């Protein structure tokens, strides 16, 4: 079977089934027709033999799920059929030009079509233009809640990029029409000029090397075959990501061309602040109000922990204000499975209103400490230097 058959022959019609026919229907239709036109049953009838060949060919494609899909896709791109000129290039047999070459000039759309035709037509040629190409890296950003950044989460990311125009499927031709083979270069995309004893080859001026010309451009993409499209992917963000970090998600960038690998996706992560907790590397921070008495006399204070029961921090007697205590294991989980700490900073609260008993107790404290001037040393040191 010739490769161009895919575009020229209607295998569904050959078997007398609908395009939506189920595999069982296709099989049944084939069996019925094969019995009728089998050469053994039609000895000497060359038209029956020809018909039998056509039926077998149609069935060989439509009965194979993968090939049927390729066939459907090829035909959906050129719904009106597609006559491939032959014999334009010496040495290419009956197949005049390489569709991969033609479409490779059209960027991503070309890549997609190149892929498709590579599959349909078996590829085989490896010029620089139709070699597999890795997809581009893509950048995006996302904003996470404080807790999601610490625990890790999965986010849905909407990626917008240029791809084949969905209306014309990247052909650039208005719906119901197809690009025509360029009459100037007969689809080769190249024109040759003879300059005395040697010739030069350059891209065809009529079709700009594409090999096809669009007579009725697709109004949606003005004939370019390209359009902005969006896709949504779910990306796993590892636990412990920090605000401003750039996370690499391998293989989630732009799709590769002609079987090449996809590019990578880079996600710039923003983390919303938490009303209570802060971050310092792998540690969480929290500032805890304490009373003067708790610092002076020592105390055990309850401190909030992120996602979990509060933890108790023992404050020794005589702790200065602003001291930080470390609670191991209550911070951010690291990649190696260990966890950072919760850093608890004490902050003395001075009461605005004092009841009678508290007021008289503090007045007593003032009298009891009247001999101590906390600024004495400061005033002395200020005289130095
Ligand atoms: Zn279009
Ligand atoms: Zn041309």
Q: What is the pLDDT of residues 361-385, one digit of tens each?
A: 999 999 999 988 989 999 999 998 7
Residues having C-beta closer than 5 Å to ion ligand 2: 182, 184-185, 204, 206-207
Question: Separation of 196 CA from ligand 2 center, angstroms?
Answer: 23
Residues having C-beta closer than 5 Å to ion ligand 1: 165, 167-168, 218, 220-221
**Phi, then psi, of 384 in degrees rounded to 5:** -70, 150
Question: Separation of 206 CA from ligand 2 center, angstroms?
Answer: 5
- Mean pLDDT of all residues in 120-142: 62
Question: Separation of 91 CA from ligand 2 center, angstroms?
Answer: 20
**Phi, then psi, of 229 in degrees rounded to 5:** -135, 160
Where residue 266 falls among pLDDT bands split at 50, 70, 90? very high
User: 231 - beta bridge partners?
Assistant: 159
Where residue 89 falls among pLDDT bands split at 50, 70, 90? very low
Q: Is pLDDT of 83 > 70?
A: no
Closest-approaching ligand to the CA atom of 183:
2
What's residue 169's pLDDT?
Answer: 78
- Mean pLDDT of all residues in 36-54: 81
In contact, 59 and 15? CB cutoff 8 Å: yes
Closest-approaching ligand to the CA atom of 163:
1
What's residue 63's pLDDT?
Answer: 87
Where residue 78 falls among pLDDT bands split at 50, 70, 90? low
Q: How far apart are CA 346 and CA 202, in angstroms?
A: 77
Question: Separation of 354 CA from ligand 1 center, angstroms?
Answer: 77
Cα 202 to Cα 104, 154, 190, 206, distances in angstroms: 16, 51, 6, 12
Closest-approaching ligand to the CA atom of 174:
1
Token pair belonging to 37: 């036109």
**Weakest-pLDDT range from 31-40, 146-155, 261-270:** 31-40
Helix/strand/coil (H/E/C) assignment for every residue in the chain: CCCCHHHHCCHHHHHCCCCCCCHHHHHHHHHHHHHHHCHHHCCCCHHHHHHHHHHHHHHHHHCCHHHHHHHHHHHHHCCCCCCCCCCCCCCCCCCCCCHHHHHHHHHHHHHHHHHHHHHHHCCCCCCCCCCCECCCCEEEEEEECHHHHHHCEEEEEEEEEEEECCCCCCCCECCCCCCEECCCCCCCCEEEEEECCEEEEEECCCCCCCCEECCCECCCCCCCCEEEEEEEEEEEECCCCCCCCEEEECCCCCCCECCCCCCCEEEEEEECCCCCCEEECCEEEEEEEECHHHHHHCEEEEECCCCCCCEEEEECCCCCCCCEEEECCCCCECCCCCECCEEEEEEECCCCCCCHHHHHHHHHHHHHCCCCCCCHHHHHHHCCC
Question: Separation of 312 CA from ligand 2 center, angstroms?
Answer: 80
Closest-approaching ligand to the CA atom of 221:
1
Question: Separation of 227 CA from ligand 1 center, angstroms?
Answer: 7
Closest-approaching ligand to the CA atom of 226:
1
Token pair belonging to 100: 């991969």
Q: How high does pLDDT run on average in the chain?
A: 80
Question: Separation of 164 CA from ligand 1 center, angstroms?
Answer: 8
More confident residue, 341 or 114: 341
What's residue 104's pLDDT?
Answer: 41
Question: Separation of 169 CA from ligand 1 center, angstroms?
Answer: 7
Q: How far apart are CA 38 and CA 74, in angstroms?
A: 30
Closest-approaching ligand to the CA atom of 220:
1
Question: Separation of 106 CA from ligand 1 center, angstroms?
Answer: 13
Where residue 66 falls among pLDDT bands split at 50, 70, 90? confident
The angle subtended at Cα 352 by Cα 348 and Cα 356, nearest 5°, is: 110
Question: Separation of 89 CA from ligand 2 center, angstroms?
Answer: 14
Question: Separation of 175 CA from ligand 1 center, angstroms?
Answer: 8
Question: Separation of 129 CA from ligand 2 center, angstroms?
Answer: 17
More confident residue, 53 or 24: 24
If 0-12 CB within 10 Å is exposed, 13-18 middle and 19+ buried, where does residue 278 land? Answer: middle
- Mean pLDDT of all residues in 304-309: 90
Question: Separation of 186 CA from ligand 2 center, angstroms?
Answer: 6
Question: Separation of 70 CA from ligand 1 center, angstroms?
Answer: 21
- Mean pLDDT of all residues in 117-140: 56
Question: Separation of 264 CA from ligand 1 center, angstroms?
Answer: 27
Closest-approaching ligand to the CA atom of 229:
1
Question: Separation of 69 CA from ligand 1 center, angstroms?
Answer: 22
What's residue 131's pLDDT?
Answer: 60
Q: How far apart are CA 110 and CA 210, in angstroms?
A: 10
Question: Separation of 170 CA from ligand 2 center, angstroms?
Answer: 18
What's residue 295's pLDDT?
Answer: 97
Question: Separation of 171 CA from ligand 1 center, angstroms?
Answer: 7
Summarised one tens digit per residue, pLDDT across range 158-216 is 888 767 778 887 778 888 888 888 888 888 888 877 766 677 788 888 888 778 888 88
């Amino acid at each position: 079977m010739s490769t161009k058959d895919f575009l020229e022959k209607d295998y569904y019609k050959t078997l007398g089934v609908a395009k939506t026919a189920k595999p069982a229907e296709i099989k049944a239709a084939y069996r019925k027709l094969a019995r009728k036109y089998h050469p053994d049953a039609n000895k000497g009838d060359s038209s029956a033999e020809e018909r039998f060949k056509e039926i077998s060919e149609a069935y060989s494609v439509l009965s194979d799920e993968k090939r049927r899909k390729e066939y459907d896709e090829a035909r959906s791109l050129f719904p009106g059929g597609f006559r491939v000129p032959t014999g334009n290039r010496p040495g290419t047999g009956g197949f005049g030009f390489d569709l991969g070459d033609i479409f490779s000039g059209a960027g991503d759309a070309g890549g997609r079509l190149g892929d498709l035709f590579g599959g349909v037509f078996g590829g085989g040629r490896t010029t620089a233009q139709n070699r597999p190409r890795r997809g581009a890296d893509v950048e995006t950003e996302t904003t996470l809640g404080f807790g999601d950044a610490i625990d890790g989460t999965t986010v849905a990311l909407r990626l917008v990029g240029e791809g084949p125009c969905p209306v014309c499927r990247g052909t650039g031709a208005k719906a119901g029409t197809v690009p025509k083979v360029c009459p100037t270069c007969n689809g080769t995309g190249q024109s040759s000029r003879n300059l005395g004893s040697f010739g030069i080859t350059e891209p065809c001026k009529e079709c700009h090397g594409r090999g096809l010309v669009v007579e009725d451009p697709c109004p949606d993409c003005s004939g370019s075959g390209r359009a902005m499209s969006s896709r949504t992917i779910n990306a796993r963000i590892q636990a412990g990501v920090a605000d401003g970090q750039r996370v690499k998600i391998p293989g989630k960038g732009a799709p590769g061309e002609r079987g090449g690998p996809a590019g990578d996706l880079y996600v710039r992560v923003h983390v919303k602040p938490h009303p209570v907790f802060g971050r310092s590397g792998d540690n969480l921070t929290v500032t805890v109000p304490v009373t003067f008495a708790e610092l002076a006399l020592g105390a055990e204070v309850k401190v909030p922990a992120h996602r979990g029961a509060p933890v108790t921090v023992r404050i020794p007697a005589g702790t200065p204000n602003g001291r930080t205590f470390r609670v191991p294991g209550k911070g951010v989980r690291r990649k190696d499975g260990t966890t950072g700490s919760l850093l608890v900073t004490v902050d003395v609260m001075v009461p605005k209103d004092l009841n009678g008993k508290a007021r008289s107790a503090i007045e007593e404290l003032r009298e009891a400490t009247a001999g101590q001037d906390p600024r004495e040393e400061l005033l002395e040191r200020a005289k130095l230097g």
